[in-house]
Amino acid sequence: MGPPVREERANLKLDAEIEYRYWVWPVPTVWVVGLSGDKVVAKSDAASTVEHGQKGATSAAASAPTDSWIGRWKGPEATFLEISGGKGSYEIEIMDLDRARTFHGATAGDHIEFQRDGTNESLKPSSGDATGMKWLAGKTDCLTIKAGEGFCRD
What is the value of pTM for the model shown?
0.61
The alpha-carbon radius of gyration of the chain (Å, integer) is 18
Question: Which sign, positive or negative, has the C-alpha torsion 116, 120, 123, 128?
Answer: negative
Residues 73 and 127 in one domain: yes
Mean pLDDT of 87-101: 96
Phi and psi for 145 in degrees, rounded to 5? -90, -50
52 to each of 45, 60, 62, 76, 83, how far by Cα in Å? 17, 13, 11, 44, 27
Averaged confidence pLDDT in the chain: 74
Q: Give the pLDDT confidence of 63-74 residue by residue, as tens digits.
A: 889 999 999 999
Check pLDDT > 50 for residue 102. Answer: yes
Helix (H) or strand (E) holding 126: strand 119-126
18 vs 116, more confident: 116
Q: Number of structural domains, the chain?
A: 2
Percent above pLDDT 90 for the chain:
58
Helix (H, G, I), strand (E, B) or coil at 90: strand
Residues 125 and 81 in one domain: yes
Residue 108: CATH number of its domain = 2.40.128
Residue 131 domain boundaries: 64-154
